[in-house]
Amino acid sequence: MSILDRISSPADLKALNHDQLTQLSDEIRKFLIEKVSRSGGHLGPNLGVVELTLAVHRVFDSPKDPIIFDTGHQSYVHKIVTGRCEGFDRLRQRNGLAGYPSRTESVHDIVENSHASTALSWADGIARGFKLRGESDRTVVAIVGDGSLTGGMAWEALNNIATSEDLRLVIVVNDNERSYSPTIGGMAKHLSTLRATKGYEKFLDWGKEVLERTPVVGHGIYEALHGMKKGLKDFVAPQGLFEDLGIKYLGPIDGHDFESLEHELENAKRFQGPVIVHAITEKGRGHLPALNDEAEKFHAVGVVDPETGEPLAPSGTSWTRVFSDELISLGEKKKEIVAITAAMLGPTGLDAFGKRFPERTFDVGIAEQHATTSAAGLAFTGLHPVVAVYSTFLNRAFDQLLLDVGLHRAGVTFVLDRSGVTGDDGPSHHGIWDLALTSIVPGIKVAAPRDGQRLRELLAEAVEIDDGPSVIRFPKGQVASELRAFERRDGIDVLYRGESADVLLIAVGAMAHLAVEAASIAYQEGVGVTVVDPRWVDPLPAHLVTMAGRFSEVVVLEDGIEGRGVANTFEILMRESGFARTIHSIGVPRRFIEHSKRGEILADVGLTSGAVAQRLVALKSTDLNSFGGFVTQEEKQRPERGNANQ
C-alpha cells in the first residue's frame, strides 16, 4: 500500500518521518502528472509546491489554522491531503473537483480565489477577526506566489499587516521563478538572513526586482526605497524591504527540504506576530517536459501525454492566434502601436508581438490596474496602447478604465480574450461581466467579432480610434468558421433574412453562428427571423433603430449577463430615439456559474440553437412565459436547417 493511500486528512501527515514524506512527495507528483494530464489543469505550479504544502499542513492545524492560497490554482496538493484524491478523476469537470479552492468541497478551503494578490487582504481580515474574538490560539497562513507580489493589492495589505505587531499571521512566499535556482548546501536550519547563503547575489537580484516592480505604498516602503544610506546590499535585499515595513522575515529557504521548511515554519508560528517565510521552489519539479520546455506552457495544460507533455487533441486556429498575427501586421504599419500585458504574454497572444517589437511591449506583472492607467499615460504621448487581458481580469481595473482612460478620452484598445462562458476554471474565470461593465463607460466603443475575418477587420478599426477607449472581445477556444453577410447596411451585417418581419435577432459576436442556426429552426416552425450582426455593439449603429421598427419583436442574443449588456444598451437607444418598446434578451443568467465544459454550461443556460429557437417561436405565440424559460439540456435531435436565403 502506498503512503498516499493512507492519507485522508492533514492529521495523517504528522506521524510520517522525513523519509516517508519524501516518498509521499514522489507519489503525489506521479499522481498529479497522471490525473492532470487526463483532465487538463495547472500542472507546473502544483508540482512545485508539494513539499511546501505538506510542511505547512504538518506545522499548522487546518482548518483551525486557516490556510489561504493566493492564485488558488496552486491548491491541488492541499486538496489531496485533505481527503479529495478520488475527485481528481473528474478534475474541472461537471460534478467533479474544482480547479480552485471551493467551500462546497471542504472546510479546509477558505477563499475561492483565482484572481491573484488578494490572499493577504483576506488573511489580514481573518487574523484581525480572531484577535478581536479572543481566539489567540489560531494562526492564519497565507501562501502567495506565482507573481502575486507584483500586484498592488498585496502591498496595500502588507502595509496594513505591518501596523499590528501581534497579528498571528504567517505569510509563505512561494518563490518559483525558474530563473532562481534553489540554494543547495547553504540552507542550514538556523538560516535567518541572506548573508548566510551561497546564493546571496541571486537573492539580492530578486529583492531588487520586487522593489522595482512594486507600487509604493505607505511610509515603510518609502523608507525602503530611500534606504541607500544602509548600503546597497541592505537596500536591495528582500529582508530589508519587509523588515522596514515592520514584518519579520525568515529565509530564503529551500522549498523542497522538509527540515528547513518545518524549522522555519515552527519559528514563524512561535513568533506570534506577522512573519514572512520566503521559500524557493522549482515550478514543474519532477516532470521533465515541464522543466525542459517554457515555464508558461506548463503553468496550465490541456489534455496531454503524461510522458512527453504534448497535447493529445489536435488544436485548430484559436481566436488568440488570429489576434496575435493581426496585431503584428498592424504593428508593422502603425508604429504608434504598443502592447501591454499583465503577466500573460503567451496566453493573450502578445508573445509574438513582443519578439517582433520588444521595445514596444510591456509586461507589468499581475497588475491590471497599473497596466490600464499606464496605458492612458502612453496614449497621452501619442502612442496607441493595446492592452491584452482576459475578460475576467478587466473587472479588477474597472475604476482605471472608467476614470483614467474613459474620463481622459485616452485612445487605448482593450482586447478581451476568454469573454463569455469559459468553462473549466469556474465562476471566477467566466468573462460574462464585461458587456455590462463597459456599457456604463461614457465614450467607449465595443466590438464583438463573429469570426476571424471580423476580428482582423475590427482590430484594424479599433487602433485608429484615438478619442476614447475601444474594446474588442472574443471567446475562448478555436475561432469560428467564417460567416459571410448577405449585405452590410450602415455598418450592420445581415446574416440571415426571414420571409416575414416576425423577429429581428441581433447577434453579438460569436453568438452569430448560433443565431443563424436558431433562425433556421424557427423558420421550420413558421416564424420568420432576420439575423443581423452590428459588429460594434456599443454604441450601436443608429440605423438599427430604423431596422427594428420593421419587426414585430426584437431580440438580442449575447454571451454576457442577460438584460444587462447589449440588450439594455439597445433598449435605452430605442427609448432615446422615441421608440418605447421591449427588447427581449437572451443571455447568461445573473448568477455565479460553477465549472463545467463550456458546451455543458451553454446548454444549461439555454444558449443552444434549439433552446433559442424555442424562445423565438414563443414570441409569435405571445407565450412570453415560455420565452423567459431556459432549456436545461441540449436537444437530442434538432430539426434540419432551413433555407437561409428566404
Residue 534 has which C-alpha cell?
Answer: 452590428
Phi, psi of 212 (to 5 degrees): -70, -25
Phi, psi of 121 (to 5 degrees): -70, -45
| Cα 266-267-268 angle, rounded to 5 deg | 90
Angle between helices 218-225 and 238-245 (to 10 degrees): 140
Q: What amino acid occupies position 9? A: S
> Quick check: is 103 catalytic?
no
Q: For 90-112, b where at least 16 C-beta lie within 10 A, e where not — what string?
A: ebbbeebbbbbbbeebbebbbbb
Residue 412 and residue 385 in contact, taking contact as beta carbons nearer than 8 Å: yes
- The DSSP result for 117-143, as a single string, is T-HHHHHHHHHHHHHHTT-TT--EEEE
Residue 187 and residue 177 in contact, taking contact as beta carbons nearer than 8 Å: no
The residues with which 503 forms a beta bridge, in sequence order, are: 529, 553
End-to-end CA distance of the chain: 68
User: For residue 393, how many other CB atoms are within 10 A of its CB?
Assistant: 24
Phi, psi of 155 (to 5 degrees): -80, -30
Residue 303 has which C-alpha cell?
Answer: 489534455
Residue 355 has which C-alpha cell?
Answer: 519578439
Q: What is the dihedral of CA 63, 65, 68, 74, to 10 degrees?
A: -70
CA 261 to chain CA centroid, nearest Å: 30
> Quick check: is 396 catalytic?
yes
Of the candidates 508, 588, 528, the residue with the CA atom closest to the CA atom of residue 518:
528
Secondary element (H or E) of residue 309:
none
Q: What amino acid occupies position 19? A: D
Choosing from 243, 368, 553, 571, the catalytic residue is 368
Choosing from 396, 418, 476, 535, the catalytic residue is 396
What is the C-alpha separation between 21 and 300, in angstroms, rounded?
A: 26
Where do we find the cell 497599473?
Answer: 370
Strands 487-489 and 492-496 come out as antiparallel
For 86, residues 6+ apart whose C-beta sits below 8 A from its C-beta are: none
Strands 553-561 and 275-280 come out as unpaired
Identify the DSSP state of 406. I
Residue 113 has which C-alpha cell?
Answer: 480565489
Secondary element (H or E) of residue 258:
helix 258-271
> Quick check: is 84 catalytic?
no
Where do we find the cell 481573518?
Answer: 126
Choosing from 35, 283, 564, 620, the catalytic residue is 283
Q: Known catalytic residues?
A: 283, 368, 396
